[in-house]
Chain A
Amino acid sequence: EAQVTQNPRYLITVTGKKLTVTCSQNMNHEYMSWYRQDPGLGLRQIYYSMNVEVTDKGDVPEGYKVSRKEKRNFPLILESPSPNQTSLYFCASSLSSGFWREREDTQYFGPGTRLTVL
């Protein structure tokens, strides 16, 4: 089954304790992205990656890191989490990006990770 998976789905942690949220897709997609969703603010893009070893900042990258060593995986790293990073996080992927993007391409979203930082 074609899907985007995220782990963990729920996480409660404490300020300053490094954590990683994994994201994996099995659709051979080039483009992957991380979003956070907060009440009243909608979805905001944190980082995106157009292909392996190519990553770039979205709208709200502060406090986050990403890496794209393999096409299928795009982990989100919080080196020193703070309470303002409590949020619902979504990973997404799409077939292509940029000028050569397929016409009907759309992003497929993972199930979400609800993170609470105390």
Chain B
Amino acid sequence: ELKVEQNPLFLSMQEGKNYTIYCNYSTTSDRLYWYRQDPGKSLESLFVLLSNGAVKQEGRLMASLDTKARLSTLHITAAVHDLSATYFCAVDIVIGNTPLVFGKGTRLSVIA
């Protein structure tokens, strides 16, 4: 059974600081996704990571994937208030058309 763990689950950080959210998963995976959810809103796709060593960047967010360690990181650089949201990683595997499994999410709050 595929399990996905994120940490931390809650993160309060000051504007201008850097931090990393971690996503561990239990089974060899085909791909990993990062999503953002604002309060009361739907999920928005941020990144799709497909191979070992993959790194993608969008603004102040950078995601990476280490398939050997079964670990993905979402790094936040010089946080701003607009980044306050809940971030989810999700993992699936091709074989057997297994359901997409989400982590529990990291609620990020950026404070002045």
Interface residues of A (CB under 8 A from B): 33, 35, 40-45, 48, 50, 56, 58-59, 90, 92, 97-99, 101, 103-112
Contacts and interface: CB of A to CB of B under 8 A. Distances in A.
Q: How large is the interface on B (under 10, 10 to 19, 20 to 34, 35 or more residues)?
A: 20 to 34
A42 B88 contact: yes
A48 B99 contact: yes
B43 interface: yes
A98 B100 CA distance: 11
Contact of A103 (B44, B50, B102, B105): B50
Contacts of B104: 40-42
A91 B35 CA distance: 15
Contacts, number: 53
17 contacts: A42-B102, A45-B99, A45-B100, A48-B99, A56-B97, A59-B99, A59-B101, A98-B97, A101-B94, A103-B50, A106-B33, A107-B33, A109-B35, A109-B42, A110-B42, A111-B42, A112-B41
Nearest to B86: A42
Interface in B36-55: 41-45, 48, 50
A40 B33 CA distance: 20
Contacts of A98: 94, 97
Contact of B45 (A33, A35, A106): A106
B103 A105 contact: no
A97 B45 CA distance: 17
